[in-house]
Amino acid sequence: MIKADLRDTFGEFLVKLGKKNYNVVVLDSDLSYSTRTNKFAKKFPSRFFNMGIAEQNTLGTALGFAISGKIPIVSGFSIFTTGRAWEFIRFACHDNLNVKIITTHSGFVGGDGSTHNALEDLSLMSSLPNLIILIPTDNIELIKMLEFTFDTKNPFYIRLPRGYFPKIHDEDYEFLIGQPDILKDGDDICLIGTGYGTLLALESTPDIEKELKISIKIINLSSVKPINNKTLIKEIKKTSGVVTIEEHNIYCGFGSILARIISENYPMPMKFIGINESFGQSGNREKLLNFYGLNKNKITEQIRNLLLSRKR
């Protein structure tokens, strides 16, 4: 299976973009090697600004660039950028400025541990009006997403993970903002994932289908905000329950957003897979995901619960 580090895809995209669009400027807070903005920095030193370990000023400077007609891209680790500089991001959204916040190290970061994990960033970002929030599943989707991002004058938050991810889309994949991306059809239960959640759903489904003798539908929802409610409901309607999967805290995260949409428009039983009331810890990524419940057994268990509640 071909695997790619999405950070590399991001870094290379920036270089291509920089060649085409002279208004693009990149800002980083002393993490340019980890975020891969160093590639842009090397190619376009006059349009790269290392703002030091000062996320608030990095974002504030981006606001100034944006009102001056530039297209600032702010990168850094997800938790620091969204956490430390939240109010500056709020102002970018408040004034609907063309600021692109594209961070890496979302979810579990590995050895750096609980202080560096970003398991709360979606909660912080999803209450901001005007902000478009995207989470790619593979490098093909990321490229399409980035093309959309730079064709659209709007504040964006794109959350990239750290590590290698398999390619699940074909080259001709079309990214459509707000639309569910149907990866597999099925009649009984619908798994809706975002980012790594989608990968886990894909990986686990064949075994679960065999074990529980059911047919599972898989939806990749890389557009966390906005979401096209109508198409989403249309897609899940024929199944009898939904399980959401996210590499994020389940409180005020991806699953919570879907719970609101579904309960309001087409109430049906739901279960949520994600990190529950924890900051995580240090460790190998696979181990962490497994320990905090992002694994096949947990999905199976939640589907069983859903099937039981349906019988009741």
Partner 1 sequence: MTLSVAEEKRILLDILEIKKDVLKMIFQAQSGHPGGSLSCANIIYLLYNNIMKINREDPQWNKRDIFILSKGHAAPALYAVLSKLGFIKREKLFTLRQFGSDLQGHPVKNPKLGIEISTGSLGMGLSIGVGCALAAKLDNNDRMIYVLLGDGELNEGSIWEAVMAGNHYKLDNLIAIIDRNGIQNDGSTEEIMALEPLAEKWKAFGWEVIETDGSNLREIIQGFERCKNILGRPKVIISYLIKGAEVSFMQHTQKYHGRAPNEEEFTLALKELENIEKNIKRGIIYND
The residue within the footprint of partner 1, chosen from 12, 15, 43, 60 (CB under 8 A), is 60
Q: Are 77 and 115 in contact (CB under 8 A)?
A: no
The residue within the footprint of partner 1, chosen from 6, 17, 26, 63 (CB under 8 A), is 63
- In three-state secondary structure terms, 189 is strand
Minimum Å gap between C-beta 126 and partner 1 is: 20
The residue within the footprint of partner 1, chosen from 5, 12, 30, 95 (CB under 8 A), is 95
Beta strands in the chain (DSSP E): 3-5, 24-28, 48-50, 71-75, 100-103, 132-134, 156-159, 164-166, 181-184, 189-193, 216-220, 223-225, 242-249, 270-275
Pick the stretch among 5-13, 86-94, 137-145, 168-176 that binds partner 1 (CB under 8 A).
86-94
Minimum Å gap between C-beta 76 and partner 1 is: 14
How many chain residues touch partner 1 (CB under 8 A)? 27
The residue within the footprint of partner 1, chosen from 34, 83, 86, 94 (CB under 8 A), is 94
Contact string (CB under 8 A) for partner 1, positions 14-43, x = contact:
-----------x------------------
Site for partner 1 contains 69 (CB under 8 A) = yes
- Report the length, in residues, of the chain: 312
Residues 250 and 268: their CA atoms lie apart, in Å, by 18
Tokens of 98: 């063309």
Angle at the Cα of 194 from the Cα atoms of 114 and 287, rounded to 5 degrees:
40
Per DSSP, what are the bridge partners of residue 88?
Answer: none
Minimum Å gap between C-beta 58 and partner 1 is: 8
Contact positions toward partner 1, by CB under 8 A? 25, 46-47, 49, 51-52, 54, 56-57, 59-70, 72, 87-88, 91, 94-95
